[in-house]
Amino acid sequence: MPAPTHTRPCPATRAGAAGRLPWWALALPVLAFTALLALILNPSDAHAATGEPAIAHLLERVQHLTTR
């Protein structure tokens, strides 16, 4: 009894990456690049965070809870 042969599916058409990408896949990198470029051009708008870092506070709490 011969084994059944499987036919190959039709090859997929190559429609380029731009045809399959949603609109936000291009908009988000452009928006991020524009925001970073604006910060580079006007660094006075970029402010450093003040106060104690959150990770240090979290580690202190974990150490306090584990020493109980």
What confidence score (pLDDT) does residue 44 get? 72
User: Quick one: pLDDT band at residue 27, thresholds 50, 70, 90?
Assistant: very high
| Token output for 36 | 């970073």
pTM beyond 0.85, yes or no: no
Return d(Cα 11, Cα 29) in angstroms, integer.
Answer: 32
Measured in degrees and rounded to the nearest 5, phi and psi for residue 30 equal -65, -40
Cα distance between the two ends of the chain:
75
Dihedral pair phi/psi, residue 27, rounded to 5°:
-70, -40
Q: Which residue has the higher pLDDT, 18 or 19?
A: 19
